[in-house]
Amino acid sequence: MNSGGLGRGVVSLAEMWAARPRCYKVSAKVYSGRPRCAWKIDQAPVGIAMYQNVICPRGVLLVVNHGVSISLLEEFKREVVYFFKLSLEDKKKLWQQPDNHEGFGQLFVVSEEQKLDWSDMFYITTLPTSLRRTQLFDLLPPKLRETMEAYSAEVKKLAMIILSQMAKALKMDNEEMKELFSDGVQSMRMNYYPPCPEPDMAIGITPHSDAGALTILYQLNDTQGLQIQKEGKWVPVKPLQDAFVVNIGDIMEIVSNGVYQSIEHRAMVNSRKERMSIATFYSTNLESELGPARSLIGPNKPAVFRRVLFDKYFKDFFARKLKVSSNNEIKATRVPQRDPSSQPLELDTGLFGTLFFAALQTLQQMLAMIIYHAVQSVDFKRDDERERFYRPDPELIPLKQEVIHERRGRLSLSEIDVRRGGDDTSDVDPGPLISEVGVSKEEVDRRGSVVMDAAEFSNVLRNVIISVKNSDVTQDIIVDDKGNVNTNTVVCFALPYKHAAEICISGQPVSDEGCRPPVMAGRSPKVVCRPPAAMESGLPATDA
Ligand SMILES: O=C(O)CCC(=O)C(=O)O
Ligand SMILES: [Fe+2]
């Protein structure tokens, strides 16, 4: 297809559905949550296949200075915007085929009764190159293909950096991490959310968690829409220009043996503004066996997920969804492939053996539970009882804070002032709430939430994200290359407390000259690390 000669039609898939709007409330019995717009499948465009939805994480990380050049981002953005403006006729050439979910369309469409997401999406597998569907690639506008190639390579690099930081934080063998991910499977989902006349009745992307290990999300414009689920509430993640939102997916939860947890997220729609995003999913190598990293398990650290072949993981994922479809019962849920019973062994050993292993497994489970409770204070429940197999219980997690600048090793509590903050509930300058300076680490440990002085940060470093632990929540503070600290970038990174703050990513190292003079002089500091409770307040109530 030659994009240059095509008219930039305004018809999008969602618009097309909206052309025959049959917005109706769906029975709460079938769909939990707020009623949303829905269409009968026969009213949807021809070619919509029976596809599952994808996947997604329990904490997000905002990454700036990620090493992907701004010009590449701009170019890719331009091409993707153009791509979604292709005429319907041209889009149809790139439509999902009945046996494949790549192309334009929707994922996880399994029922006539199903509410469809108020979005168009284009899904494509990008890496390894052997997995690419050449029929689809060849049809892409050449410029888009070119930039997508470059972007895909850059995002892979970034994913590998993050993974290696995670290995460090987990005390996992970095070589093992590299082996698992060096030739990882990468796919992209480009999302276009047109304005929705009844945003309260629609949803851009149904709540889900991503099935991959990491998702690197690029938000193309400043329309807000992404929300993450946190302790029963939906927390918006504000778009930050040229930054990536990194989500942890189900595979990472498995590899980390439950330490990192994927998060449920969704995308909302706006009545006036359109929104666009590109989610790049990065998973383990195709031939890898999925399971907890071997360097993370041992006699005292039993595996809490069963090993499964990568291929089977995704096949099961789809199979489970299809079964749901045949029951005509659509639950808009993620389907993490977690081992519901945490049974690492499956041997045909007769009755005695079965009993023996059952006892062993019970013992293992108990041990795992005790260890996990002791170390992480985790609520241990089965998959069928709740969505998450392992989830830290914030109540039980000791209140403690620490600031770690992972890569430079220069930032420590003794180098910066950590100031006690009040109970801010907004992004405004905490002003007088900053009342104390230079509290000791012990003090911080004892107290709880802190407010940090941006000017102090800028004394110390540039181009970094600093993660501040606060109970089970880590808030990331981004300092740009001028030493400015962006308040909007305070994002919670809800990981098990012990490991959370150990992930700090900086695309570019701080200047070799070392500490530069503050450029914030005269400006009011605007870094706010709010306590989790305050952070949640003022946010829209959950719809679940
Ligand atoms: O558009 C967004 O912010 C979320 C997209 C997403 O979750 C996905 O594509 O999996
Ligand atoms: Fe997602």
Q: What is the DSSP string of 17-52?
A: HHTS----PPPTTTS-SS------GGGSPTT-----
- Give the position, in ligand 1's atom list, of the atom nearest the Cα of 193: 1
Which pLDDT does position 30 carry in this prediction? Answer: 24
Q: Looking at the structure, do residues 421 and 276 belong to the same domain, yes or no?
A: no
Q: Looking at the structure, do residues 215 and 322 belong to the same domain, yes or no?
A: yes
Looking only at the bridges linking them, the beta strands covering 265-267 and 103-105 are unpaired
Does some domain include residue 22? no
Say if CB 338 and CB 254 are below 8 A apart: yes
- Give the position, in ligand 1's atom list, of the atom nearest the Cα of 219: 3
Q: What average pLDDT does the chain have?
A: 56
Which residues are CB-neighbours of 516 under 8 A, at least 6 positions away?
462, 483
Q: Looking at the structure, do residues 322 and 421 belong to the same domain, yes or no?
A: no
pLDDT reading at 380 higher than 70 = no
For residue 35, report the distance from its CA to the centre of ligand 2, in Å: 21
Q: Which of 77, 120, 215 most suits a substitution to test ligand 1, by most atoms within 8 Å of the C-beta?
A: 215
Say if CB 192 and CB 162 are below 8 A apart: no
Which pLDDT does position 88 carry in this prediction? Answer: 80
Residue 194 φ then ψ, to 5°: -70, 160
Between 218 and 423, whose confidence is greater? 218
The verdict on the CB of residue 226 being under 6 Å from ligand 1 is yes
Angle at 83 between CA 78 and CA 89, to 5 degrees: 155
Looking only at the bridges linking them, the beta strands covering 244-248 and 214-219 are antiparallel
Which residues are CB-neighbours of 327 under 8 A, at least 6 positions away?
none
Q: Which domain holds residue 435?
A: 416-479
Does some domain include residue 347? no
Q: Where is the domain boundary, 426, 459, 479? A: 479
Q: At what angle are helices 174-181 and 142-170 packed, to 10 degrees?
A: 150
The verdict on the CB of residue 166 being under 6 Å from ligand 1 is no
**Distance of alpha carbon 385 from alpha carbon 279, whole angstroms:** 30
Does some domain include residue 54? no
Which pLDDT does position 460 carry in this prediction? Answer: 35
Helices (H), 241-386: 250-255, 310-326, 350-376
Which pLDDT does position 514 carry in this prediction? Answer: 24
Summarize pLDDT for 226-272 with one digit per residue, the tens: 988 776 788 788 787 777 888 888 888 889 887 777 778 889 988 88
Summarize pLDDT for 469-478 with one digit per residue, the tens: 333 334 444 4
pLDDT reading at 101 higher than 60 = yes
Of all residues in the chain, what percent carry a pLDDT higher than 90? 17
Question: What's the residue count for the chain?
Answer: 544
Does some domain include residue 8? no
Does some domain include residue 67? yes
**Distance of alpha carbon 243 from alpha carbon 270, whole angstroms:** 21
Summarize pLDDT for 110-166 with one digit per residue, the tens: 555 555 677 888 999 999 999 999 999 999 999 999 999 999 999 999 888 878 777
β-bridge partners, 245 = 62, 217
For residue 247, report the distance from its CA to the centre of ligand 1, in Å: 10
Between 340 and 159, whose confidence is greater? 159
The verdict on the CB of residue 238 being under 6 Å from ligand 1 is no
β-bridge partners, 420 = 450
Which pLDDT does position 515 carry in this prediction? Answer: 20
The residue whose CA has the least distance to atom 9 of ligand 1 is: 279
pLDDT reading at 56 higher than 50 = no
Looking only at the bridges linking them, the beta strands covering 244-248 and 184-193 are unpaired
Least confident of 195-204, 224-233, 292-301, 363-372: 363-372
Confidence tier at 60 by pLDDT (50, 70, 90): low
Does some domain include residue 514? no
The verdict on the CB of residue 478 being under 6 Å from ligand 1 is no
Q: Looking at the structure, do residues 281 and 424 belong to the same domain, yes or no?
A: no
Q: Looking at the structure, do residues 328 and 436 belong to the same domain, yes or no?
A: no
Q: Which of 155, 265, 266, 334 most suits a substitution to test ligand 1, by most atoms within 8 Å of the C-beta?
A: 265
Q: Looking at the structure, do residues 323 and 449 belong to the same domain, yes or no?
A: no
Which pLDDT does position 112 carry in this prediction? Answer: 52
Q: Where is the domain boundary, 290, 307, 333? A: 333
Q: Where is the domain boundary, 479, 496, 520? A: 479
Looking only at the bridges linking them, the beta strands covering 289-290 and 205-208 are unpaired
Summarize pLDDT for 344-360 with one digit per residue, the tens: 222 233 344 434 434 54
Does some domain include residue 520? no
pLDDT reading at 47 higher than 90 = no
Cα 512–chain centre separation: 33
Q: Looking at the structure, do residues 301 and 428 belong to the same domain, yes or no?
A: no
Q: Looking at the structure, do residues 430 and 300 belong to the same domain, yes or no?
A: no
- Give the position, in ligand 1's atom list, of the atom nearest the Cα of 204: 1
Confidence tier at 107 by pLDDT (50, 70, 90): low
For residue 208, report the distance from its CA to the centre of ligand 2, in Å: 6
Q: Looking at the structure, do residues 306 and 439 belong to the same domain, yes or no?
A: no
**Is the Cα torsion angle 370, 373, 378, 379 positive or negative in sign?**
positive
pLDDT reading at 286 higher than 70 = yes
Q: What's the Cα-to-Cα distance from 341 to each of 85, 336, 415, 461, rounded to whole Å? A: 47, 14, 46, 46
The ligand with the least distance to the CA atom of 187 is 1
Ramachandran class of 103: left when φ > 0, alpha when ψ lies in -120 to 50, beta otherwise: left
Read out DSSP for 128-173?
Answer: SGGG--HHHHHHS-HHHHHHHHHHHHHHHHHHHHHHHHHHHHHT--
The interface predicted TM-score (ipTM) is 0.99
The residue whose CA has the least distance to atom 5 of ligand 1 is: 279
For residue 505, the number of C-alpha atoms closer than 13 Å in the C-beta half-sphere is 24
Does some domain include residue 397? no
Residue in the block written with tokens 């942890």: 248
Residue 111 φ then ψ, to 5°: -150, 150
Q: Looking at the structure, do residues 100 and 231 belong to the same domain, yes or no?
A: yes
Domain count, the chain: 2
**Distance of alpha carbon 503 from alpha carbon 493, whole angstroms:** 10
What is this structure's pTM? Answer: 0.55
Q: Looking at the structure, do residues 329 and 462 belong to the same domain, yes or no?
A: no
Between 528 and 279, whose confidence is greater? 279
Confidence tier at 225 by pLDDT (50, 70, 90): very high
| CATH number for the domain harbouring residue 245 | 2.60.120.330
Say if CB 260 and CB 495 are below 8 A apart: yes
Q: Which of 190, 191, 246 most suits a substitution to test ligand 1, by most atoms within 8 Å of the C-beta?
A: 191
For residue 207, report the distance from its CA to the centre of ligand 1, in Å: 10
The verdict on the CB of residue 217 being under 6 Å from ligand 1 is yes
Which pLDDT does position 183 carry in this prediction? Answer: 95
pLDDT reading at 222 higher than 70 = yes
| Radius of gyration of the chain, Cα coordinates, nearest whole angstrom | 23
Q: Which residue in 264, 229, 221, 13 sits closest to 116, CA to CA?
A: 13
